[in-house]
Amino acid sequence: MALSVKHMLGLEHVEREDIETILDTAASLQEISYRPVKKVPTLRGKTQVNLFFEASTRTRTSFEIAGKRLSADVVNFTASASSLSKGETLADTARNIWAMRPDILVVRHAAAGAPHLLAKLMDTPIINAGDGAHEHPTQALLDLFTVREKKGKIDGLKLVIAGDIAHSRVARSNIYGFTKMGAEVWVVGPPTLIPPGIERLGARVSYRLEDAIPEADVIMMLRIQLERGAGSLFPSLREYAIRFGLNSARMRLAKPGALVMHPGPINRGVEISPEVADGPYSVILDQVEAGVAVRMALLYLLCGGSEHENA
Amino acid sequence: MEMRTLIKGGRLVDPSQGLDEARDLLMDKGRIEAILDPSSKVTTGVKVVEAEGCLVVPGLIDMHVHLREPGHEYKETIASGAAAAAAGGFVAVACMANTKPCNDCAAVTDYIIEKAKAAKLVHVYPIGAATAGLLGEGMAEIADLKEHGCVAVSDDGRPIVNAEVARRLLEYCKGFDLPVISHPEDLNLSAGGAMHEGYVSTQLGLQGIPAAAEEVMVARDILLAELTGARLHLAHVSTAGSIRLVREAKARGVAVTCETAPHYFTLTHEAVRDLDYHTSAKMNPPLRTEEDRAAVVQGLRDGAIDAIASDHAPHSSVEKDVEFSLAMNGIIGLETSLGLSLRLVHEGWLNYGQLVERMSCGPARILGIPGGTLKPGSPAHVTVIDPNQEWTVDAAQFQSKSRNSPFQGWKLKGRATQVWVEGKRIL
């Protein structure tokens, strides 16, 4: 069992078969997290470097736990800003890391395409843990995993992603991932937060949450960056919460059994009301749990697969 | 005594005289002596240079380059830039003012001209800063700049945001018959953008720059040119909307000219994706859509666009081996400009006369500099082009000090084989 890709840079170029392999592998690895001794020797002797150029607590922790449960030696390399502030280029940083012979790199960067530059410069498999507004493939994979667990399928479902689509890597990866797996994806938000040409990525657009909710099997709310409430893209967080937030009144429009998801961290009372976030439809914590399993699966498939050992 | 030189056996293409015929070109004492019928007997005391199968054209002029000296000599020097220009088939270039210090005073102009003379290659015409320090506020000492050799003024790289400053600048320059070269960009609309705004920027998660960021400023500057009656030249137009505005303005009789760069008629925003975020696809204005690209080609055909200029913008790995959104804008172009432009001829979009018009006659006329013609008596600035010579772009072999080209590895057809500046061969 191996993937047809060497890196996991994004879901745009990943085949459905690979996504299924990852989800199946994640399902088989999930029980490790319930053992009294949460560790298997699969990646013993492998070095996993988490290269985080952008602040992240949850994603980094999730990758760290995933690596450790597989017995990888996990090293965190945190750079607060671009390498340029130190006078070296990203290419220099990449060559330095590579010279230390890691077996797999997990990269988070505020600049779209940064993991792609690294992938061109080194031989090591790279997992994109989020690059700017481009992709966040492991988030989409854990979302797919969660939906598949809860709904038993993805094919034929309707996913609504609501919020700041323009600046969201989660939205892009989920559009690719869910449409490849046979779901229909709608993006919803004020026109200022819907980027041009999003339809060509496979999504349909609506400007009204009320119109999208009744048909939805899954409602995914995106975090609004609080600093965007300053008035240039929408008037205020107050108006946003009223017009585009998911609250109990809007949830009454939803189908029974619809799932409410959020990649976190949530802004309670902005894009999602506390009653909904903590309510019966919410699978937000299941997503977090799935994150560890999905990341274990990817680490295993990209650097621990038996074919790699024979090579 | 210096011998006369006869460029023999070529096809002479000179739109300034409506010529596209087999002709021999006789040069003497740095000037064009005569255009001869191929059957005419070679007179004695003449050195013959073969141009069989080649085009003999008025020397090419690149009216928009960045030579980086003074201040950024690690990217390019006037000498290396002049060598790149000669290798690319040019007899003259006009260099933008955004050096360090910038060319906003006669001392810097003198320095550039002195360095160019020492290089003994192409003519280098400085373009002076329009505003002091390129700050877009007070005017630079424009009359002084002109007296010392500047052929135009421009804050290229930055627009002049304040419309009143732009208006007075145009008005003032009118009195000295200097063209004002505008870098049309609305900085508020383009703020934070790394590429053209469209579905590719959405796909790549890069912040976009809408076409309107350019067009809003093109429209404003045309209105100001109309108000003042001054000579406006728009640098690097890249959108269908800009070209439409220029075409309409010309039809109304506004004294506006414009240029485009080879990358705008060769590549589209898809290149950013196809090159997988390679920073050699990052420039300002950004690569646009296929509709824009086609409009640029049409503009070159019908004369809405007056000139092809490379916007040669050398950068080192420090500026380019970085995250796409952090990389500096610009690509080198002097050594690929002709080869890329010839593609338009090979594909039937332009004829040779139109190509020469846009790469020689047009720039000479806009800047008011010698050249752009092979009329007897004019300076012997001549480029000889083998239009069928096939070659592969290898930036490592370039004369330029920088390597930032998206055309690395491209197979091109046609290149300059001889360049003559005042009758002296530099290539």
Letter for the amino acid at B376?
A: P
Q: Of residues B391 and A85, which shows the higher confidence score?
A: B391
Residues of A in Cβ contact (< 8 Å) with B277: 112-113, 116-117
Cβ contact B201–A195 (<8 Å): yes
Q: From the candidates A42, A47, A59, A146, which is the catalytic residue?
A: A59
User: Which token pair is B255?
Assistant: 């004294």
Q: From the candidates A13, A16, A35, A86, which is the catalytic residue?
A: A86
Letter for the amino acid at A198?
A: I
Beta strands B55-58 and B382-392 are antiparallel
> In chain B, whose CA is at the least distance from the CA of A114?
B323
Rounded Cα–Cα distance for residues B228 and B172 (Å): 9
Question: Do you find a cis peptide bond into B262, omega within 30 degrees of 0?
Answer: no
Cβ contact B206–A84 (<8 Å): no
- Asked which of A229-243, B160-174, B308-322, B344-358 is least confident by mean pLDDT, the reply is A229-243
Q: Of residues B199 and B44, which shows the higher confidence score?
A: B199
Of all residues in chain B, the percent with pLDDT exceeding 70 is 99
Cβ contact A112–B321 (<8 Å): no
The reply to whether A136 belongs to the active site is yes
Q: Any chain B CB within 8 A of the CB of A196?
A: yes
* Cα atoms in the Cβ-side hemisphere of radius 13 Å centred on B204: 30
**Closest partner residue to B326 among A82, A91, A195, by Cβ?**
A82
Rounded Cα–Cα distance for residues B417 and B389 (Å): 9
> In chain A, whose CA is at the least distance from the CA of B317?
A89
Residue spans in chain B of domains classed CATH 3.20.20.140 = 59-367
Whether residue B203 has pLDDT greater than 60:
yes
H or E stretch including B231?
A: none
A181 in Cβ contact with A173 (< 8 Å): no
pLDDT tens digits along B38-96: 988 877 789 999 999 999 999 999 999 999 999 999 999 999 999 999 999 999 999 99
Closest Cα to residue B146, out of B171, B115, B121, B109? Answer: B109
- Asked which of A115-124, A177-186, B72-81, B386-395 is least confident by mean pLDDT, the reply is A115-124
**What residues contact B270, with CB distance under 8 A and at least 6 apart?**
B200, B290
What does R_g of chain A's alpha carbons equal in angstroms? 19
Chain A, 123-162: which have a CB under 8 Å from a chain B CB?
131-135
**What residues contact A249, with CB distance under 8 A and at least 6 apart?**
none
Cβ contact A113–B324 (<8 Å): yes
Question: What pLDDT, on a 0 to 100 scale, did the predictor assign at position A88?
Answer: 81
CB atoms near residue A139 (< 10 Å): 26
Beta strands per DSSP E along A67-150: 73-78, 104-109, 126-131
Q: From the candidates B311, B321, B386, B394, which is the catalytic residue?
A: B311
Look-up of token digits 């390597």: B403
Tell me the whole-structure pTM to 2 decimals. Answer: 0.95
pLDDT-based confidence at A80, cuts 50/70/90? low
Rounded Cα–Cα distance for residues A282 and B206 (Å): 31
Rounded Cα–Cα distance for residues B90 and B26 (Å): 20
**Closest partner residue to B323 among A109, A196, A197, by Cβ?**
A109
pLDDT-based confidence at B228, cuts 50/70/90? very high
Closest Cα to residue B10, out of B40, B47, B50? Answer: B50
Rounded Cα–Cα distance for residues B350 and B301 (Å): 6
pLDDT tens digits along A41-73: 999 999 999 999 988 889 999 999 999 999 999
Identify the CATH number of the domain defined by range B4-55+379-425. 2.30.40.10
Look-up of token digits 């950004």: B286
Question: What pLDDT, on a 0 to 100 scale, did the predictor assign at position B296?
Answer: 98
Of all residues in chain B, the percent with pLDDT exceeding 90 is 97
Phi-psi region of B377 (alpha: psi -120 to 50; beta: other; left: phi over 0): left
User: Which token pair is B98?
Assistant: 């955004």
Rounded Cα–Cα distance for residues A182 and A185 (Å): 10
User: Which token pair is A309?
Assistant: 């050992």
Angle at CA of residue A172, ends A171 and A177, nearest 5°:
95
The reply to whether B177 belongs to the active site is no
B305 in Cβ contact with B376 (< 8 Å): no
DSSP state letters, A131-194: ETTTB-HHHHHHHHHHHHHHHS--TT-EEEEES--TT-HHHHHHHHHHHHTT-EEEEES-GGGS
CB atoms near residue B366 (< 10 Å): 24
Calculate the average pLDDT of chain A: 93
Rounded Cα–Cα distance for residues B59 and B87 (Å): 13
Chain A, 59-118: which have a CB under 8 Å from a chain B CB?
82-84, 89-92, 109, 111-114, 116-117
Whether residue B412 has pLDDT greater than 60:
yes
Angle at CA of residue B361, ends B359 and B367, nearest 5°:
95
Average pLDDT over residues A298-308: 75
The reply to whether A252 belongs to the active site is no
* Domain topology for B59-367: TIM Barrel (3.20.20)
Question: What pLDDT, on a 0 to 100 scale, did the predictor assign at position A91?
Answer: 86
H or E stretch including B421?
A: strand B411-421
**Closest partner residue to A90 among B199, B200, B322, by Cβ?**
B322
pLDDT-based confidence at A309, cuts 50/70/90? very low
Rounded Cα–Cα distance for residues A154 and A146 (Å): 10
Rounded Cα–Cα distance for residues A67 and A251 (Å): 37
pLDDT tens digits along A187-242: 999 999 999 999 999 999 999 999 999 999 999 999 998 877 677 899 999 999 99
B137 in Cβ contact with B178 (< 8 Å): no
Per-residue CA distances from A238 to A219, A253, A269, B55 (Å) = 21, 22, 9, 69
Burial A63-72 (b: 16+ CB within 10 A, else e): bbbbbbbbbb
B407 in Cβ contact with B340 (< 8 Å): yes
pLDDT-based confidence at A82, cuts 50/70/90? low
Residue spans in chain A of domains classed CATH 3.40.50.1370 = 16-135+291-310, 137-288
User: Which token pair is B327?
Assistant: 């990389």
End-to-end alpha-carbon separation of chain A, Å? 14
Pick the CATH number of A16-135+291-310 from 3.40.50.1370, 3.20.20.60, 3.40.50.2300, 3.30.530.20: 3.40.50.1370
Q: Is B151 helix (H, G, I), strand (E, B) or coil?
A: coil
Rounded Cα–Cα distance for residues B122 and B419 (Å): 9
DSSP state at residue B289: -
What are the percentages of helix, strand and coil residues in chain B, rounded to 5?
A: 35, 25, 40
Rounded Cα–Cα distance for residues A136 and A9 (Å): 8
Average pLDDT over residues B101-118: 98
CA dihedral B73, B76, B78, B82 (to 10 degrees): 160
Mutate to test the interface with A, among B188, B195, B199, B202 (most CBs of A within 10 A): B202
Identify the CATH number of the domain defined by range A137-288. 3.40.50.1370
pLDDT-based confidence at A86, cuts 50/70/90? low
Sheet holding B4-8, edge to edge: B31-36, B24-28, B4-8, B46-50
Residue spans in chain B of domains classed CATH 2.30.40.10 = 4-55+379-425
H or E stretch including B110?
A: helix B106-119
User: Which token pair is A25?
Assistant: 């592998």
**What residues contact B11, with CB distance under 8 A and at least 6 apart?**
B20, B21, B22, B23, B54, B55, B56, B352
DSSP state at residue B192: T
Cβ contact A135–B203 (<8 Å): no
Rounded Cα–Cα distance for residues B118 and A17 (Å): 64
Letter for the amino acid at B247?
A: R
pLDDT tens digits along B232-285: 999 999 999 999 999 999 999 999 999 999 999 999 999 999 999 999 999 999
